[in-house]
Amino acid sequence: MIIADKNTKAVDLVRAALDKAKEFEDYHCFISMNEARALDKAREIDEKIARGEKVGRLAGVPYALKDNYLSPEGVTTAAARMLDNFPSPITATAVAKLEAEGAIMIGRANLDAYAHGSSTENSYFGPTLNAHNKSRVAGGSSGGSAAAVALGIVPFALGSDTGGSIRQPASYNGVWGMKPTYGTVSRYGVVAMASSTDVMGCLANNADDVDLVMSIIAGKDPKDSTTLDNFWNRELEDAKPKKKKIGIIKDFLGDGVNPEVIKTVRDYAEKMKKAGFEVEEVEMPIMKYGLAIYYIVQPAEVASNLSRYDGIRYGHRSNEAKDLDSIYSMSRDEGFMPENKRRIMIGNFVLSSGFYDAYYLKAQKARTLLINAYNEAFEKYDALLCAVAPAPAFKFGEKTDDPLQMYMEDVMSVPPSMAGLPALAAPAGTSKEGLPIGIQLIGPRKSDQMLINIAKSVEEVA
């Protein structure tokens, strides 16, 4: 990551990023650009440097902001028609921290509307193309962020991860993606999806940049009662694995997983052995229930969080509405994408009278069993290894007519989310068609930097 100093102008860094964004405009990484304000901020930083004043750790570094983070610069849409003209009155805590260190947002990155999706095909503004193959999806929901980093437009981008929305697009585009421990980064100022699993993280082209960005945005925030005290304040050297043992989740090496993905995971395991780790397979039968647990709990929270978008307080209001009932029904019908509606209906169903105990309550009990299974595994292993997704990036339209097939893309990424655990996606290989394949390292709570350390040690012997 290049930082502005006496020899490197912030204006030049920002202009280069903006030029690249225009060069790759057909990939549709961005919903909107922040050109004028970004250049103004860059000039301010250059003037500070010229005067010998102190500047931040990210002085002049351009970045892409997933468009579900609120900021007064531009319009925060969450890629939804419901918010296609919403100027935010506040700034997300993570954004404020980055800007305090001199980072400069050049544009708002595309995503699935309200972050509901695994392909960015659910964006009201159109899909983002995969950085390595234009016929393939960029993944979701942080597809725009991942593609912008992979194309070299920006050195890092902010994303959000509820069930894999940072890790899966990172894997599809061949970049690094960090889903931190739940509560590591404040959720204040980010459009809510599922509040018990939403986490804020980043995507970058290398592990050191991930560590730097996360160290800046992590920490306690009085505006978000779920945030943890900042444990990201130590050097990577102080976060070394203690047991030097890694468990490969055997349950994700069988039917339904692309053979090239399985080979990539096994090849990565061999590299880990060369790096000094003991690696063995571990059976976790509860994993087969992870997706079912997630797609009961998550839609329930989605339905609750999206109930505020009613055409009355803010957001889209239908021009055809004639009375209060039609304002609610028509505004929501027009403002939400099909996937948003699907999750609202599922969520309201599992929370409804007569079904709450059978579905939602049972899912929460199973969630506890999932957490216990992870805790038991971590008594023996430093971290767990598996793929991020069952296959490399798929073709546009391949899964849009089959929601169950689309949801299966999340089968490996949702279990750590349900347990609130950190998970790091790292590039690990490519398919015969040249599509990136990533691996996923999962660790105990607050072991985020240890996961980065493990991945770095594997890189050194690769």
Across residues 10-33, what is the average pLDDT?
98
pLDDT for res 226:
97
Summarised one tens digit per residue, pLDDT across range 109-136 is 999 999 999 999 999 999 999 999 999 9
Which amino acid is residue 126, in one-letter code? G
Lowest-pLDDT choice from 148-152, 246-250, 399-403:
399-403
Q: Report the alpha-carbon angle 152-389-445, nearest 5.
A: 90
Instruction: Report the number of distinct structural domains present in the chain.
Output: 1
Contact by Cβ (8 Å): 379, 354: no
Q: Is the omega angle on the peptide bond into residue 195 within 30 degrees of 0, that is, cis?
A: no
Per-residue pLDDT for 237 more than 90? no
Label the pairing between strands 62-66 and 156-161. Answer: parallel
Per-residue pLDDT for 258 more than 80? yes
Per-residue pLDDT for 234 more than 90? no
pLDDT for res 365:
98
Summarised one tens digit per residue, pLDDT across range 339-353 is 999 999 999 999 999
User: b or e along 325-352 (b: 16 or more beta carbons within 10 Å of the residue's beta carbon)?
Assistant: eebbebbbebbbbebbeebbebbbbbbe
Q: The tokens of 188 are what? A: 């204040």
Q: How would you class 253 by CB atoms within 10 Å of its CB: exposed for 0-12, middle for 13-18, buried for 19 or more?
A: middle
CA dihedral of 253, 115, 165, 255, whole degrees rounded to 10: 10
pLDDT-derived band at 368 (thresholds 50, 70, 90) equals: very high
Q: How would you class 354 by CB atoms within 10 Å of its CB: exposed for 0-12, middle for 13-18, buried for 19 or more?
A: exposed
Which element (helix H / strand E) includes 338? helix 338-351
pLDDT for res 461:
86
Per-residue pLDDT for 236 more than 70? no
Helix spans in 70-194 (H): 93-100, 143-150, 167-173
Mean residue pLDDT across the chain: 96
Residue 462 DSSP label? -
Closest CA to 170 of 179, 183, 180: 179
pLDDT-derived band at 149 (thresholds 50, 70, 90) equals: very high
Laid out side by side, the sheet with 383-387 consists of: 30-33, 104-109, 62-66, 156-161, 199-204, 176-179, 423-430, 436-442, 383-387, 245-249, 278-282
How far apart, in whole angstroms, are the C-alpha atoms of residue 302 and residue 308?
A: 11
Summarised one tens digit per residue, pLDDT across range 282-336 is 999 999 999 999 999 999 999 999 999 999 988 899 999 999 999 999 999 999 9
List, in sequence order, every residue forming a beta bridge with 425; answer none if it has no partner: 177, 440
Closest CA to 373 of 411, 422, 416, 409: 416
pLDDT for res 238:
74
Give the percent of the chain with pLDDT over 90: 95
CATH code for the domain in which residue 249 is found = 3.90.1300.10
Which amino acid is residue 203, in one-letter code? L
Which element (helix H / strand E) includes 374? helix 362-378
Strand, coil or helix: 246: strand
Q: The tokens of 451 are what? A: 């996961």
Q: Residues with catalytic annotation?
A: 66, 141, 165
Across residues 55-79, what is the average pLDDT?
97
Contact by Cβ (8 Å): 437, 171: yes
pLDDT-derived band at 33 (thresholds 50, 70, 90) equals: very high
pLDDT-derived band at 216 (thresholds 50, 70, 90) equals: very high
Which amino acid is residue 180, in one-letter code? P
Per-residue pLDDT for 194 more than 80? yes
Closest CA to 200 of 313, 307, 68, 80: 68
**Domain coverage including residue 81:** 1-462
Closest CA to 94 of 170, 166, 35: 166
Across residues 393-420, what is the average pLDDT?
95
List, in sequence order, every residue forming a beta bridge with 177; answer none if it has no partner: 203, 425
- Sign (positive or negative) of CA dihedral 389, 392, 397, 401: negative
